[in-house]
Amino acid sequence: MQKLAIQGGAKLHGEVRISGAKNAALPIMCAALLSADELHLSNLPDMHDVATMEKLLQQMGVKISAVAQGATFNAANVDKLEAPYEMVKTMRAAILVLGPLLTRFGEARVSLPGGCAIGSRPVDLHIKGLQAMGAQIHIEHGYIHATAKRLQGARICFDLVSVTGTENLMMAATLADGVTILENAAREPEVVDLANCLLAMGAKITGAGTDTITIEGVRNLHGAAHRVMPDRIESGTFLVAAAATGGKITLTEARADIMENVLDKLREAGAHITVDGSRITLEMTARPTAVSLRTAPYPAFPTDMQAQFMALNTIAEGSAVMVETIFENRFMHVQELRRLGAQIEVEGNTAIVTGCAQLEGATIMATDLRASACLVIAGLVAQGETIVDRIYHLDRGYEHIEAKLSALGAQIRRIK
């Protein structure tokens, strides 16, 4: 089990390049299944979930060749229409092969993703949508077995805003017979990035980025080249780390326009932020002020940034009310932060954080991806040494995070 050893106290300073977005790369890689032509992807982040998705596609028969700064995907000879449990259990995003396999090949067998630390994570909306498009779906022995001669366009209104639900059905609709209208669709930038890739492949999509997406099915999609968008959650994570340590950093190859809510919250905490094209500079010259927040679907405050802001609030001036409305169990980092001396009370989906002057280093344990990032940030500000255990969670969704933090002056090293 690998760990990170962090000596707290260093103020982060310098420049850091933002990698391609994990939550855009994963659905876009699945889009390769929709065509027999080559899909060239650049700016793919080098992280565990991307490697897992590549293995999942390769075991289906997709040929993947690494090229400078990216990879080429060729799904001309897919011969296995299945996503096995042992791959799905480690990466829930594998559910995103369901729509593409079903709409191109008429069949798919995808393991039901298990729950995870942050919640039960059902996929009922994915299944309901595909059934509305005419798919026959049986759940047996933990697998979703779906068949459809040819999916039919349908009007689908999501009971809940679902990012991968929107993405799965948008991909399924690209080759369906007729028009599909997705209502109460997710508006996340990663949905827009996927739509842009599908448009480049010849799909007919309007409304991506709004809550109503219309897709007119076509017979075939052709090859394309697409550059994955920058990761707004990695961006936010580094900015919060700089704010917490009282430093000054500049993100390069970033996009401020897709993280306005996070930047507003950082300014509310007292950070000075300037944006110059794809460069975002944050400077923190005083102790942060506690900021209250409520997570909600884009463009509201992202649930994937809640844990990182909690780390900031633990050492801020004042107290904050943090409400998590998306997942039912996304406070796993609270008891770990308490081990560092943080003052946090939890009532249902609300955490009250009372800032204290100083955290004390200790050994703590990561439970999920963004909780891991939160604990690293806390370690950067805690007095003395903090050991973060089970950092495989971190490696799933951040590219070379300790190298990037070390380059910004953090005292951080990986120990086996």
From the CA atom positions of the chain, what is the Rg in Å?
A: 21
Q: Is 304 in the site for ligand EPZ (CB under 6 A)?
A: yes
Residue 375 CA to its chain's centroid (Å): 18
Q: Least distance to ligand EPZ from the beta carbon of 301, Å? A: 11
Q: Is 41 in the site for ligand EPZ (CB under 6 A)?
A: no
**Residue 121 DSSP code:** -
Using the minimum distance from each CB to ligand EPZ, give the nearer residue, 108 or 125. 125
Q: Is 93 in the site for ligand EPZ (CB under 6 A)?
A: yes
Q: Is 232 in the site for ligand EPZ (CB under 6 A)?
A: no
Q: Is 213 in the site for ligand EPZ (CB under 6 A)?
A: no
Comparing CA positions, the residue from 92, 96, 140, 94 lying closest to residue 116 is 92
Structure tokens at 138: 């049986």
Instruction: Candidates 45, 99, 153, 165: give the one binding ligand EPZ (CB under 6 A).
Output: 165
Instruction: Candidates 19, 23, 74, 314: give the one binding ligand EPZ (CB under 6 A).
Output: 23
Residue 116 falls in the annotated catalytic set: yes
Q: Least distance to ligand EPZ from the beta carbon of 364, Å? A: 19
Q: Please list, residue by residue across 258-274, b when 16 or more beta carbons sit within 10 angstroms of its beta carbon and e when fewer do.
A: bbebbbebbeebbbebe
Comparing CA positions, the residue from 229, 249, 228 lying closest to residue 239 is 249
Taking residues 378 to 397 in sequence order and writing x for each that binds ligand EPZ by CB under 6 A, - otherwise, the string is -------------------x
- Residues in CB range of 69: below 8 A, 6 or more apart: 42, 43
* Choices 63-71, 160-168, 222-230, 335-343; region in contact with ligand EPZ by CB under 6 A: 160-168
Q: Is 299 in the site for ligand EPZ (CB under 6 A)?
A: no
Q: Enumerate residues 314-373 that contact ligand EPZ by CB under 6 A.
A: 326-327, 369-370
**Residue 151 DSSP code:** -
Using the minimum distance from each CB to ligand EPZ, give the nearer residue, 3 or 330. 330
Q: Is 174 in the site for ligand EPZ (CB under 6 A)?
A: no
Comparing CA positions, the residue from 228, 236, 233 lying closest to residue 280 is 236
Structure tokens at 3: 């760990």
Using the minimum distance from each CB to ligand EPZ, give the nearer residue, 231 or 402. 231
Reduced to 3 states, what is the DSSP secondary structure of residue 2? coil
Residue 104 CA to its chain's centroid (Å): 26
Q: Which of 116, 197, 356, 374 is catalytic?
A: 116
Structure tokens at 359: 């955290």
Handedness of CA 368, 370, 373, 378 (dihedral sign): negative
Q: Least distance to ligand EPZ from the beta carbon of 240, Å? A: 15
Q: Is 169 in the site for ligand EPZ (CB under 6 A)?
A: no
How far CA 331 is from CA of 79, 127, 226, 383, 414, in Å, comes to 42, 28, 36, 23, 25
Q: Is 123 in the site for ligand EPZ (CB under 6 A)?
A: yes
Instruction: Give contact residues for ligand EPZ (rule: CB under 6 A).
Output: 22-23, 26, 93, 119, 121-126, 160, 162-165, 303-304, 326-327, 369-370, 397
Residues marked active site are found at: 116
